[in-house]
Structure 1
């Protein structure tokens, strides 16, 4: 198996990713209202990895994190919609690194012509790794698990770009835990994030740029109010 470049530790990879996300305008600081109605001092929008260079770099981070994670998987599954692009891009990068694996994704609406059904791409078989940008609730993961199991395959884990490490607010998830913890503990799947909120805090703590370092107190306060213990 191809492994992460030896000169970069896991923490280095996370710090490089956070810096990349900030430079790309994907990770922003200010005041943003979340889906849960919370006022967050930062916003991560993976939809802004919106050109070939950014998407290629994002795929590199995912692939290197996965290859270093020890999670064994036979293919990638991208839930509609953001997961579709991610599964395709990361499969290309994995192949470039010597690990050529199939990928599949789902449609929101089933087709009744052509190949039909809701699943597109390679046959869903073996150990299937779900790929997405974040886990806001366990709902999307549960839907993916159901599709994978219905195809006769085994869901083995989830990989995401950023773990917000904050208490879940969605129905069905214990409010004392995060959605990522729910997936790990209740659904029994490994979750492999490229970076976490703790990595984001470390990035801000090390900043020389006063514009960025000024966001540190607000992010720390948000973590103290909504954060979960790992």
Structure 2
């Protein structure tokens, strides 16, 4: 069924014309003669211990299949389990280092454990649910934010289990770009993972297995043809729906597949619609963080970077001398250069107080900031308070909120449960919530929401105060950023305008690659 990823990124073409195509692809050296022979022997052994079953089976994603892999059985055959683990590692380990391995629970756990013991690469364990006692951790093991982790899985159909693991690992700050799997059922999993920034490499595909078994006299050619016909019409998405079924555009693809102009049509929030259009028109994902301490500096920076940004992020409470005239001049620059103003206030108080902070005080934020950031720590009341404050303004104005789901600092306390609750809150207020502040590509699924990702810098991985940085490419393609926040990389540059232009070009190029790859 197309392409198979060979060890750490080398691509080989697997033909669908018969067993000669499949076996020849091994014999030409892409995998190596030793691995080819071991693989064929192992496939036959797995068939003999009844790992491969034929019939009518209900899959995890809800569809029926004429063939089923029950790799859990290998735990009863230690020699085969060891052989399988070592062969998977021999196949996959070349060319890229990693700090940790993580098996998808539960079948892949013993495989990952054996690889870890054999290679001395530390292992992490992802729980399916957080313990209600003890450390209450979701990811067990010793690791640091930014460590590289490779996911190990047994069988991939749609890729949904790997995506669940990816989300939790990224939520802990781990860098995950590769999944190594034993069997690729060739039903869309590889593409689904790629759309989420994850490269998948499989030891063997279902097509290869069928031809190996046919060559060994274990199945007949009619069975092989039957399975291939099934695969041709059974390409699925992570939610179990068929790719070749006609469905509305919004259901057919996720946000990473779509252009900003397409996503604008699917947004319910007026401010996110406007931001999508600005990003498309100006060809930029850049948000510059104006972390300066005088009004004149804010205005000078806005004038310099305005042509290259979609958003200017301010911190009014760090500016010593911000006046009403400064704010009026800033809004005029935003109109001149067509960008939005995001006041990074991070409202977190009870609703009544948050509403007053938004509309009153020295800066009257609601009157000039198109967007504001909001912590969800105090619950929905904070949003209700902000909206109540907005409703009292005259004339009425369109505004939007970015809910803070994750931060770019080390050791932040935003647990997976907190992130999940924040996403649900965003879904409940679609007309006011423009998007989420987060670091992971699979937190936002709704294409109308915008992912704003802080901590982007071309150089440096961290600062002395725990700020973690992503490159523009990594932030957009792997992390899923729609808007990337750059602070010191522009503000501290000798020429902020040139720096902003460089970031804008790099971010737009990464976005184009993301959309092109997904489609």
The question of a shared fold, defined as TM-score above 0.5 by the shorter chain, is answered with yes
2:203 and 2:38 map into 1 onto residues whose CA distance is 8
Distance in 2, matches of 1:213 and 1:78, equals: 31
Which TM-score applies when normalising by structure 2?
A: 0.36
CA offset at residue 138 of structure 1?
A: 3.1
**1:226/1:7 CA distance change after superposition, 3 Å:** closer
- Residues 1:224 and 2:255 are matched in the alignment: no
The 1:116/1:180 distance shift into structure 2, 3 A limit, reads same
**1:202 has 2:241 as partner:** no
SS at 1:110's partner residue? coil
Q: How does 1:111-150 map to 2 (within 5 A)?
A: 111-123=131-143, 125=145, 126-150=147-171
C-alpha spacing 1:201/1:108, structure 2 compared with 1 (3 Å): closer
Report the RMSD for the aligned CA atoms in angstroms. 2.6
Q: Whose radius of gyration is greater, 1 or 2?
A: 2
Structure whose residues are more often strand by fraction = 1
Which residue does the alignment assign to 1:171? none
**Aligned residue in 1 for 2:56:** 32
Q: 1:92 deviation in Å?
A: 1.6
**Structure 2 residue ranges without an equivalent (≥5):** 1-30, 236-519
CA distance in 2, matches of 1:71, 1:20: 30
Q: Select the residue among 2, 15, 23 that pairs with 2:48.
A: 23
Greater relative contact order, per chain length (Cα 8 Å cut-off, separation 6+) = 1
| Kept in 2: contact 1:124–1:153 (CA 8 A) | yes
Change (3 A) 1:159 1:80: same
Q: CA deviation at 1:112?
A: 4.3
Q: Is 2:109 the counterpart of 1:84?
A: yes
For the 8 Å contact 1:78–1:105, the answer to whether it is kept is yes
Structure 2 residue 201 is the aligned partner of structure 1 residue 192 = yes
In 2, Cα distance between equivalents of 1:124 and 1:205 = 47
Q: Contact 2:44/2:213 (CA < 8 Å) preserved in 1? A: no
Q: Which residue number corresponds to residue 175 of structure 1?
A: none
Task: After superposition, give the CA deviation of every residue in 1:3-49 in whole Å (9 maximum; x if it has no partner).
Answer: xx96514x434323312311332123x31323244341x32111101
1:151 to 2:175 alignment: no
Question: Retained in 1: the 8 A contact 2:190–2:199?
Answer: no
Is the contact made by 1:18 and 1:195 (CA closer than 8 Å) also made in structure 2?
no
Q: Deviations over 1:141-183 (max 9, x none)?
A: 22212211121111121111111113xxxxxxxxxxx122211
Do the aligned residues in 2 keep the contact of 1:79 with 1:130 (CA within 8 Å)? yes
- Paired residue total: 201
Return the alpha-carbon distance in structure 2 between the equivalents of residues 22 and 124 of structure 1.
Answer: 41
Aligned partner of residue 109 in structure 1, secondary structure: coil
Question: Tell me, what secondary structure is at the counterpart of 2:154?
Answer: coil
Aligned partner of 2:219 in structure 1 is 213
Aligned partners of 1:123, 1:107: CA distance in 2, in Å? Answer: 15
Quote the Cα distance in structure 2 between the aligned partners of 1:141 and 1:199.
22
- Quickly say closer, same or farther: Cα 1:12–1:54, change in 2 above 3 A: closer
- The reply on whether 1:183 has 2:193 as its aligned counterpart is yes
Gap runs ≥5 in structure 1:
167-177
Could you say what secondary structure the match of 2:224 adopts?
A: helix
Residues 34, 72 of structure 1: alpha-carbon distance in 2 compared, 3 angstrom cutoff: farther
What secondary structure, in the 3-state scheme, does the structure 2 residue paired with 1:194 have? Answer: strand
Supply the distance in 1 between the matched residues of 2:160 and 2:225 (Cα, whole angstroms): 28
1:71 and 1:182 map into 2 onto residues whose CA distance is 22
After superposition, residues 62-77 of structure 1 pair within 5 angstroms as 62-68=88-94, 70-77=95-102
Q: Deviations over 1:55-106 (max 9, x none)?
A: 21221122111224x344221012322232222122123x2xxxx2111011
Aligned partners of 1:122 and 1:193: how far apart in 2?
27
